[in-house]
A and B are shown apart, each in its own frame.
Chain A
Amino acid sequence: MLDQVRATWAPHVLSLLRFMSGLLFLQHGTAKYLNFPHVAAFDNMTWNSMVGLGGIVEFVTGALLTVGLFTPIAAFLASGEMAIGYFTVQAPQSFFPIVNRGELAVLWCFVFFYLAFAGGGPWSIDALLKRK
Chain B
Amino acid sequence: MEATLDKFRPQILSILRIMVGLLFLSSGIQKWFAFPVAMQAAANITLFSMIGIAGIIELVGGALVTVGLFTRYAAFIMSGEMAVAYWFYANRPARGFMPIQNGGTVEVLFCFIFLYLVFAGSGPWSLDALVRKKT
Contact = CB atoms under 8 A, between A and B. Distances in A.
Contacts of B30: 98
B41 interface: no
A116 B13 contact: no
Interface in B103-130: 105-106, 108-110, 112-113, 115-116, 118-121
A13 interface: yes
Interface residues of B, number: 36
Dominant secondary structure at the A interface: helix
A94 B36 contact: yes
A20 B23 CA distance: 19
A97 B26 contact: yes
Most buried by B among A16, A72, A110: A110
Contacts, number: 103
Interface in B5-54: 5-6, 8-9, 12-13, 15-16, 19-20, 23, 26-27, 30, 36-37
A1 interface: no
Contact of A37 (B8, B19, B100, B121): B100
Given A114-B13, A117-B9, A37 B98 contact: yes
Interface residues of A, number: 36
Dominant secondary structure at the B interface: helix
Contact of B36 (A72, A98, A117): A98
Contacts of B106: 103-104, 107
A108 B120 contact: no
Contact of A13 (B13, B96, B109, B115): B115
Contact of A107 (B13, B99, B113, B118): B113
B112 A20 contact: yes
Contacts of A114: 9, 12-13, 15-16
Interface of A: 6, 9-10, 13-14, 16-17, 20-21, 24, 27-28, 31, 37-39, 72, 94-99, 103-104, 106-108, 110-111, 113-114, 116-119
20 contacts: A6-B118, A10-B120, A14-B116, A14-B119, A16-B115, A17-B116, A20-B112, A24-B105, A37-B100, A39-B101, A72-B2, A96-B36, A97-B26, A107-B110, A110-B19, A110-B20, A111-B16, A113-B16, A117-B6, A118-B12
